[in-house]
């Protein structure tokens, strides 16, 4: 039993020593030198040399067209004419003439028509001094006479289409209330010629002046 174990131990030890020696030779470079001595240089160069690139296949040349064999009595066939584009046109070739576009007339904006002048409408103002009206005379207040009150009053009267006074107001005072009230009452009781527009009677405002003067 003991001799068998010793043999196995020797084998294992030998393998380990071999590996250790191989590693040591690789590190020191001795293994490469031994290989160079034992193995021929040509084999090493073949192993180390990289593979050469593949060469491209040679281009395929077009096959020559077989020329027909002519007998002695046969004449050669006339050459086939080829169509060649000419840069200069033939003198008799039809020419397409393109007429230039016609100039369009300028677009002008429509001129606005000026409206015809409107005829002025004739306006006739009312009146209070017509003879046929027969308006009563102005009454001078007695107290104003004794106190020597006098002046001019302008009464603004709205005269209807029928000639009657519809309302009245003092536009300009005389400075005396009695004279203003007397003028206002008188103009409200008068009759008037109504105002007209284009010959048609209509209501209009009219200023009636009243003068109070002592003789």
pTM over 0.95: no
Alpha carbons 195 and 201: distance in angstroms, whole number: 6
Residue at 68 is within a domain = no
Residue at 155 is within a domain = yes
CA atoms within 13 A on the CB side of 189: 12
Residue at 101 is within a domain = no
Residue at 200 is within a domain = yes
* pLDDT above 60: residue 5: no
pLDDT confidence of residue 152? 96
pLDDT confidence of residue 73? 57
Q: How far is CA 195 from CA 35, 126, 169, 185, 203, in A?
A: 147, 4, 18, 21, 7
Q: Indicate the average pLDDT of the chain.
A: 75
Minimal CA–CA distance to 187: which of 147, 153, 215? Answer: 153
Q: What is the CATH number of the domain that holds 132?
A: 3.30.2420.10
Domain boundaries, position 15:
2-48
Sign of the Cα torsion 174, 177, 179, 181 reads positive
pLDDT confidence of residue 83? 46
Provide the 8-state DSSP code for 48: H
Minimal CA–CA distance to 155: which of 175, 170, 177? Answer: 170
| 16-20, 82-86, 177-181: range with highest mean pLDDT | 177-181
Residue at 14 is within a domain = yes
Q: Which two tokens stand for residue 210?
A: 């009243």
**All residues at 6 or more sequence positions from 179 whose CB lies less than 8 Å from its CB, including other chains:** 141, 144, 149, 150, 151, 153, 212
* pLDDT above 80: residue 113: no
pLDDT confidence of residue 129? 82
Over residues 34-47, the mean pLDDT reads 52
* pLDDT above 90: residue 22: no
Q: Is the CB of residue 158 less than 8 Å from the CB of residue 166? A: yes
Provide the 8-state DSSP code for 169: E
Residue at 186 is within a domain = yes
Over residues 71-99, the mean pLDDT reads 53
Residue at 107 is within a domain = no
pLDDT confidence of residue 38? 52
Q: How far is CA 153 from CA 19, 26, 38, 110, 134, in A?
A: 151, 147, 157, 58, 21
Over residues 203-208, the mean pLDDT reads 94
**How many domains, in total, are found in the chain?**
2
Segment holding 13, helix H or strand E:
helix 2-28
Residue at 100 is within a domain = no
Q: Which two tokens stand for residue 35?
A: 């290989």
Phi-psi category of residue 95: left, alpha or beta, with phi > 0 → left and psi -120 to 50 → alpha: beta
Q: Which residue has the tokens 């077989």?
A: 66
């Amino acid at each position: 039993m003991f001799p068998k174990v010793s043999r196995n131990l020797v084998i294992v030890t030998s393998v380990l020593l071999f590996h250790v020696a191989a590693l040591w030779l690789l590190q020191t470079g001795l293994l490469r030198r031994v290989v160079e001595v034992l193995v021929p240089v040509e084999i090493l160069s073949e192993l180390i040399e990289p593979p050469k690139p593949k060469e491209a296949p040679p281009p395929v040349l077009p096959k020559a067209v077989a020329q027909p064999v002519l007998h002695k009595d046969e004449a050669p066939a006339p050459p086939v004419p080829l169509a060649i584009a000419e840069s200069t046109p033939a003198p008799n070739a039809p020419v397409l003439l393109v007429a230039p576009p016609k100039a369009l007339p300028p677009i002008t904006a429509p001129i606005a028509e000026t409206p015809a002048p409107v005829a002025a409408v004739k306006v006739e103002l009312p009146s209070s001094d017509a003879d046929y009206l027969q308006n009563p005379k102005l009454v001078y207040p007695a107290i104003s006479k004794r106190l020597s009150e006098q002046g001019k009053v302008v009464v603004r009267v709205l005269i209807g289409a029928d000639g009657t006074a519809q309302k009245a107001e003092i536009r300009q005072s005389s400075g005396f209330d009695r004279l203003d009230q007397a003028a206002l009452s008188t103009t409200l009781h008068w009759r008037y010629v109504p105002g007209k527009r284009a010959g048609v009677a209509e209501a209009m405002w009219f200023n009636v002046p009243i003068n109070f003067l002592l003789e």
